[in-house]
Structures are given as C-alpha cells and as structure tokens.
Amino acid sequence: MKAYSTNNIRNVVLLGSTKSGKTTLSEAMLYEGKVIERRGSVEAKNTVSDNTEIEQMNQRSIYSTPLYAEFMDTKFNIIDTPGADDFIGGAVSAFKVCDTGVLLINAQQGVEVGTEIFARYARQYDIPLIVGINQLDSEKASWENTLESMKEAFGKQPVLIQFPVNPGPSFDGFIDVLKMKYYHFKDDNGTREDLEIPEQYKDEAEELRSALIERAAEYDDTLMEKFFEAGVLTEDEIRKGIGIGCRAGEVLPVFCLSARKDIGVKRLMEFTIRTASSPADRKARTKDGKEVECKQDAPTTLFIYKTAVEQHLGEVAYFKVMSGELTEGQDLENPETGDKERISTIYAVAGKKKEKVTDLFAGDIGCTVKLRAAKTNVTLSQPGTDIVYEHIKFPASKFRTAVKAKEQKDEEKMSEALSKISAEDPTIIVEYSKELKQTILKGQGEQHINIVKWRLKNENKIEIELFPPKISYRETITKVATANYRHKKQSGGAGQFGEVHLLICPIVEGVEATNRFKIDGKEVVLNVKNKESFDLEWGGKLEFYNCIVGGAIDARFMPAILKGIMDKMSEGPLTGSLARDIRVYVYDGKMHPVDSNEISFVLAARNAFKEAFRNAGPKIMEPIYNVEVLTPSDYMGACMSDLQNRRALIEGMGSDKGFEVIKARVPLAELYKYSTTLSSLTSGSATFTMEFADYQPVPADVQEKLLKAYMEEDRDE
C-alpha cells in the first residue's frame, strides 16, 4: 500500500446504539474499498471487525476495531466501536483519533438512548457527525417515525440528503437530492444504477433540494449572497455549506442505508470523503493546553490510543501519526519518561489483517509491535520534540465488585492478569483497598466485568469469585463529650502509668473552634497552648489541642497521646471504620515519676478517646453518589420507584431531547449492580452516570444494622 498524504486520509468512527448495524456497515465499507472480496455477517461470525472469540461468541462488538478501506484515492480509516454502555471505553479512545463520526440510527427503533449518548459524546469531543438511517430494508423499518424521533432529539440539525424508495423488505434504492439522482440497486451486493428521478418522486425531491440549499447557504456569507442573487447553489457549493454547518455541529446530514444489502454505503463514503474534515482540519491539544497542527512537514509525533495482546504478534500498539512522517525503523522517544523506542515495523490495520507499510503520514492510523514500554495515552516523538498530547479521559466506573481467586494460590497470578487487562482496557480498574482489605474491580457494567472473568478463565486459567464489596464507611460525632482514662500496670519489673483527660467535639463546617464548653452544667474554659491540624488521608480533619496546664503531663508525652488518638481514628470506635472531623482537647492528666512512658500514654489516650467518642453522639457516615439516569419516558415510573427503594433523594426531573432525566443522590451501599437492574428494568434502553458526592450520616435503622453486623463479626474473630 502506498503512503497517503494527510489530505487524502479520512478517520471515521462508527457510532450508534447496539445492533444499529455498525459492524455490518464496516464490513460493507471494506468490501467497497476492495479490502475484502466477500462480505461476512455478524450471524456467520466472519466479519473483519468482530474477530475475537469472545465477540463472535456474543455476536456483538466488545472492542473498538481499527479498519481501513482504499476508496477514491483516499485512505478511509474506520473505527468500529461497541455500542453498549459497558464497552464505552473503545468509543471514547476512538474519539481521540477520528475526525468525523458516522452515527447510525436503526430505522426499526428511531433514536434510542444509545444514539443520544453517542451524540452527547460527539459534542463533548467536538466530532462532527453524519447520520446514516440503517436497516431500511427490514420489515419494521419506519422512515417517518425515525425522522420524527430525530426531530425530537436533534431539533433542526438533521438535513436530508436522501430519502428512501420503498423502505421495508423491498427497499432497493433512494433519491439523492444533492446529486438529484435516483440510485437503484439491482442486487443485495451493492450493484448500483444511477437513474433519473422518477416522476412520482420529483416534487418531493425538489422540495428537499430547496431545503438543502437554504441550509447550505446559512453558514457562509458568500454562499448566502450567491443564494440571494441566483436562488440556487451548485452541487459543490451545497457540499461546502453543509460541510461548514456539519463541522460547526449545526447540521446533521442524513443518509439512507441498508448495511446488510450494501445499499447507500458507497454514497455515504463518497460524501464523507468530499465533505468531512481531513485530519489537517483539526488541531490536537497537548497536556499543557497548546494546539498542534496535523501536518506532514513537522517533526514526527505519535499518540498511542489503544494496546492489545494479539495472537502471533504479542503486544500491539495502535496509534495515530499526529504530525510529520513515520518511517519504518525510526527511533522515537517518550518525552515524559525519556524511554527510547524503535518503530521496527509499521502496519495498516483491518482487524486481524495487518499490512506492512514503510511510511505513514500525519493523520494516518496504524499499529506497531514490540515496543518496550508504550501504553495507551503515551506520546512518542522524534527526539527533541517537546510535545505531550492530552490523555484520553475515560468515563468514571459504574460497576464495582470485590474479587478474589477461587484458589488462594492463584491470588498473585490473578493480580498480574488483571493489571494486564487493565492496561489494555483502561476502563477496567483494579485496586487493592487497604481500608477494606479487598481487591476491588471496577468497570462500566456487569457484562464488562463478566468479560474480564471469562478472559481470566479462558486465557489465564484462573477462576475468580465476585462478591459485593464492602463500603468505606466513616465515623464521626455530633456533640461534646469528655473522658478520663488511667492506664496502670504494676506486675513485675518496670510499671506503666499514664492518665489522660480529654474533651472531644465535632468539626462542623462554618462553625468556629471554641475553648469554652459546658461540662455537666458547668462552664469550662480551656487554656489552649498549642494546636495541630491534620487533613486526613481518608478525607475530613483531626484537630489536636494541647491544653495541659501546670505540667500535669510532660510535653514529651504529647506525641504519644496524639498517636493513641490517631490509632483509634483509623479504626473507629463504632465499627472499625475510619473516623473524621473531630477536635480533641487534652486538658489534664497524671504522670508517674518512674513508671510513665510513651506506650502508657498511647494506651491511655486511645481508651479515653474511645470512651469519649461513644458518648459524643457517634454517627456512621456513608458515601453518597450523584446519579443521573437517562431513560425513555415509558420507563420513567419504574426507574423512579426503583430509585426510591434505594434510599435515593430525588433532586430533579426533566426531559432532554425526547428522554427523561432523573437526578438523585444515592448511597453507594444501594448501588451494587445498579447498572444491571436499570438495564433489565428498561430493556436496556436507559443509561446512567454516577459520581462521588460526599459523606452523609446513615439513617438510624441502617446504623443499628451496621453496629449489629460489626458486633457479630467482632465476636466471630
């Protein structure tokens, strides 16, 4: 394959809800681009894109797959993405390297929540979209309903470039109002006839053509002038105007498709090549906020957007050439670590098919093998080039589970395998929580995690067990309390003696510290000699006040007292959870001239603190998450009552682009497997996001249960 120059490259990401037909479309594109001679199908498990065992088993895409077609003297790079929420990581990384999105809408369903999710992401990543209404050949296809749902979701953005002739099982062509032609298909294999528009479609075609011209004129002054003077625009002018509107995110050009019958695929590719951005039209952002142009005559820089371990090849790094020219054998370095890397071989990629090439120009996508330390998000550049590209920001996890190996002996192997999987798929996060003493596995949904389980079993021969993770509770207090504790031991040898009197009170935001307290009805004023304030690792604060008067305790024992308190803060008096937001005033005590030592004061302080804590209106606090659910209105009621059963506090409801949005605050303890429940409640048509908000006291009944559970656990040990 020859090296394509930047202007002759298009990078297109295929988007759309599950089963809209992205993988089938990619197959047809590869066929049109002569990369394959026969089209496979998802059912026959022989598509170029879904080529892994697990994807074929599930008959769906799980990874994002880079592909290409050579078409109209252009290298048409395609990234086929999985549509499901669970596998969103693949799409997010594709946004980083693509310049245009083709958003598929299933004509049987119209706009789905999945469609809306991808449209949102595209806006967020500034990816212009072209819409393909697919499956127009299916029995339940409805052109009208689909347009209606698009109007609701996208307002006036959709602009029809085509309309179908005979949508439904006998779908065999469409009228194109940019070309003013009738494209008729003679077979199910993309054989196209370019015909005059039949009489009965002429009026509709004229009407849509006028609408198209008007929209095309809207985004450019010279086109607008020309339109006012002449009343028409040429084909090239229309394309130009629509292209500008599309890049500005104001226009969604709409095409007709049957990916299965290869109808409309070639036209969509032609339009994309002529109208959509080339890589040169977009600038990439660096970590320090600068912009880098994608051009050939510049130092070579690459960005690795994905890695995978593949049969016969080992670790494969997929990248985009962000600037300059990449040549086989070139030496590059990672500007962040100084690591040197030689690019020994370069491949153009169509799924498993890897074609060796000698050069790739700025804007092109390819892969290489045998890098020493290159991972997703790494920039590699010609030595001396001080450019580091902004990392891909993957969405926050939505599914959290504890994991352990079925066989204790596999525990270490499991950790290693999990960290490899997480390097390949950064939306899988594995961490050992010292606090919970559990390995926590996080991902985008239960299916996502199940894929990990399957891979461990089949690729690494490790069986794992998943179970509900513990919750990171916190403990705090709500009122003032005091306690005295004397630690005394006099058996044999040297004795131990320490006595600590302390007062504790809660730290409440906006309430100033005081040294006046009422204890047993008496006003007490403490004499603060010294204050230390600690931001706790686990959130919240501890303030420690030395109020000792008259040398009751030597200053040299104060660190031991603080240590005793810290010990108890990190293993709270109620349930052993971490404690936070407490002020401690040590105001009196006693020493023994011989027996007092540090350990005595550690123990005295620990016990005094524990006792005071239990009398200070102690509360267990739990992590609360902000949850936002997006659902079709049919399922609104079901989603609401489910949330209410999860102790949710509903903060807002509203509709957005034809869907209902619910905003709620929900305790993490109630969110285990929420993604799974939501999916089954709504037949997979809803989605949600969750984000840590803050800690809040648990309700009394929950506190009771937690205390009881802790007592029982304690007794067990």
Residues in contact with ligand GDP by the rule CB under 6 A: 16, 18-24, 41-43, 60-61, 83, 134-135, 137-138, 258-260
Window 1-40: residues binding Mg ion (CB under 5 A): 22-23
> Which residue number, 176 or 325, has a Cβ lying nearer to ligand GDP?
176
The smaller minimum CB distance to Mg ion, of residues 41 and 615, is found at 41
Strands of 541-546's sheet, edge to edge? 481-489, 496-506, 582-590, 541-546, 530-535
Assign 3-state DSSP to the chain and report helix, strand, coil percentages, each to 5. Answer: 30, 35, 35
Q: How many CA atoms lie within 13 A of 264 on its CB side?
A: 29
- Minimum distance, C-beta of residue 260 to ligand GDP, in the bound complex (Å): 4
Residue with tokens 């004509």: 107
The CB-of-71 to Mg ion minimum distance in angstroms stands at: 21
β-pair partners for 67: 78
CA dist 592 and 600 (Å) reads 10
Residue 106 makes contact with Mg ion by CB under 5 A: no
Specify whether the CB–CB gap between 582 and 504 falls below 8 A.
yes
Cβ contact 457:448 at 8 Å: no
Judged by beta carbon distances under 5 to 8 A according to partner kind, the member of ligand GDP, Mg ion, none in contact with residue 258 is ligand GDP
**Residue pair 458/420 in contact by the 8 Å Cβ criterion:** no
Query: How many Å separate Cα 22 from the centre of its chain?
Result: 20
Give me the least distance between CB of 81 and ligand GDP, in Å please. 8
Q: Which is nearer to ligand GDP, 103 or 449 (CB)?
A: 103
> How many residues of this chain bind Mg ion (CB under 5 A)?
3
We find the least distance from the C-beta atom of residue 39 to Mg ion, in angstroms, to be 14
> From the centroid of its chain, how far is CA 619?
34
Decide: helix, strand or coil at residue 602: helix
- 31/174 with CB nearer Mg ion: 31
Site string for Mg ion, 447-466 (x = CB under 5 A): --------------------
Three-state DSSP class for residue 243: helix
Q: Which is nearer to ligand GDP, 215 or 260 (CB)?
A: 260
Closest separation between CB of residue 98 and ligand GDP, Å? 16
Q: Which of residues 52-91 bind Mg ion (CB under 5 A)?
A: 61
**What b/e string do you get for 205-230 counting C-beta neighbours within 10 Å, with b at 16 or more?**
beebbeebbebbbbbbeebbebbeee
> Is there binding between residue 51 and Mg ion (CB under 5 A)?
no
Task: List the single partner that 115 binds among Mg ion, ligand GDP, none, CB under 5 to 8 Å by kind.
Answer: none
86 binds, among Mg ion, ligand GDP, none (CB under 5 to 8 A by kind): none
User: Considering CB distances under 5 to 8 angstroms, the limit depending on partner class, which of Mg ion, ligand GDP, none binds residue 523?
Assistant: none
Q: What span, in angstroms and rounded, lies between the C-alpha atoms of 566 and 561? A: 9
27 vs 446, beta carbon nearer ligand GDP: 27
- Contact set for Mg ion, span 595-634 (CB under 5 A): none
Least distance in Å: CB of 129 to Mg ion?
18
Q: Which CB, 260 or 442, lies closer to ligand GDP?
A: 260
In the complex with Mg ion, the residue whose CB is nearer, 279 or 351, is 351
Closer residue to ligand GDP, CB minimum distance, 247 or 261: 261
- Decide which of ligand GDP, Mg ion, none touches 268; Cβ closer than 5 to 8 Å per partner kind: none
Q: What is the dihedral of CA 445, 450, 456, 459, to 10 degrees?
A: -110
Whether residue 110 contacts residue 20, with contact meaning beta carbons closer than 8 Å, is answered with no
Nearest approach, Cβ of residue 96 and ligand GDP (Å):
20
Rounded to whole angstroms, the Cα distance separating 32 from 43 reads 20
Instruction: Give the binding site for Mg ion (CB under 5 A).
Output: 22-23, 61
